[in-house]
Homo-oligomer: A and B are copies of this chain.
Amino acid sequence: MKQSQLFTKTKKEAPSDEVAKNAQLLIRAGFIHKEMAGVYAYMPLGLRVLENIKRIVREEMNAVGGQELMMTTLQPKEIWEKTGRWDDAKVDNWFKTKLVNGTELGVGLTHEEPIVDAVSNYLNSYKGMPFSVYQIQNKFRNEKRAKSGILRGREFLMKDMYTFCKDQEQHEQEYEKIVAAYHRVYARLGLGEITYRTYADGGIFTPRFSDEFQTLTEVGEDTIYVDEKKRIAINEEILTDENLKKLGLDRNDLVAKKGVEVGNTFHLESKYTDALDLFYIDEKGEKQSILMGCYGIGVSRLMGVVAELFSDDKGLVWPENVAPFAVHLLSLGQDEETEKICIELEKNGIEVLFDDRDAQAGAKFADSDLIGIPCRVVVSKKSLAAGGLEVKMRNESESKIMTVEELLQMLKK
Contact = CB atoms under 8 A, between A and B. Distances in A.
Interface of A: 5-9, 11, 30, 33, 35-36, 39-44, 46-47, 50, 65, 67-76, 93, 95-101, 105, 107, 114, 118-119, 121-123, 128, 131, 133, 138, 140, 142-144, 154-155, 164
Given A8-B122, A9-B122, A131-B5, A47 B70 contact: yes
Contacts of A47: 68-70
Nearest to A146: B99
B155 A73 contact: yes
Contacts of A9: 121-122
A349 B41 CA distance: 35
A70 B42 contact: yes
A5 B96 CA distance: 36
A325 to B, nearest CB: 14
23 contacts: A5-B131, A7-B123, A7-B164, A33-B121, A35-B72, A36-B74, A36-B76, A36-B105, A41-B69, A41-B70, A41-B72, A41-B118, A46-B69, A47-B68, A50-B70, A73-B140, A74-B140, A96-B97, A97-B107, A99-B142, A100-B142, A101-B144, A107-B107
Contacts of A36: 74, 76, 105
Given A114-B35, A123-B7, A131-B7, A74 B44 contact: no
What's the dominant secondary structure at chain A's contact region?
Answer: mixed
A71 B7 contact: no
A41 B71 contact: yes
Nearest to A7: B131
Contacts of A122: 7-9, 30
Nearest to A79: B35
Contact of A5 (B7, B65, B74, B154): B65
B121 A67 contact: no
A332 to B, nearest CB: 19
Contacts of A30: 122
Contacts of A33: 118, 121
Given A44-B67, A44-B69, A118-B41, A7 B140 contact: no
